[in-house]
Amino acid sequence: MNIEIKNAMLNHYIKNSAASHYIIGFNMNHTIYMVNATDEDLKDITTVEKAGHNDGYALKFKPNKDIKTYLLAKGATALCSELYFEQTVQASKYNRGEIFEKMVTEYNGQEWTKDNINYRVQGDIRVNDTEIQIKYEKATFITEGQIQREREKDL
């Protein structure tokens, strides 16, 4: 992985994001966990890989066992079983990331609705006046193509 590309993408995302806090989800040992994370944590838990659709590279959350162990040590909370999570995904029209976002939103006592609000405008959920982005395994934070389009739009 090219560390300069990762750092540039992280810096752009952090600088432009309406959220500075994250709830990160992952599956470990047949349990779905959620953990609070900050901008600083993103440096340790993200990776860069080729994006689709001619968008260059993508900044992603694709945790390996070491990253999952690190997140568990940060105080991850069990949200539900893998079985319940997968049954919920299969019974819905939404993907794992959307179902995780729905479960976390409801866990926080709020009603979830599917939206496509840009990360620069607001987080996925607001708790105690804090904007929070919610990401589940294999989530993309941003691509080089998105960064380029944002820069062109901001000119």
Domain edges within the chain: 3-144
pLDDT digits 0-9 by tens, 24-81: 999 999 999 999 999 999 999 999 999 988 889 999 999 999 999 999 999 999 999 9
pLDDT digits 0-9 by tens, 137-150: 999 999 999 999 99
Tokens of 36: 């609070």
pLDDT at position 2? 82
- Which residues, in sequence order, are CB contacts of 88 under 8 Å at separation 6+? 99, 103
Average pLDDT over the chain, rounded to an integer: 95
| Contact indicator for 134, 100 with CB cutoff of 8 Å | yes
* Bridge partner list, 33: 26, 78
Q: What pTM did the predictor assign?
A: 0.93
pLDDT at position 155? 60
Instruction: Say how far residue 89 (Cα) sits from the centre of its chain.
Output: 17
Furthest CA-CA distance within the chain: 48
DSSP 111-147: --------TTT--SEEETTEEEEEEETTEEEEEHHHH
Sheet holding 139-143, edge to edge: 47-50, 57-61, 139-143
Q: Is the pLDDT of residue 154 over 80?
A: no
- The torsion defined by the Cα of 138, 94, 115 and 35, in degrees rounded to 10, comes to -40
Segment among 1-5, 105-109, 130-134 with least mean pLDDT = 1-5
Phi-psi region of 56 (alpha: psi -120 to 50; beta: other; left: phi over 0): left
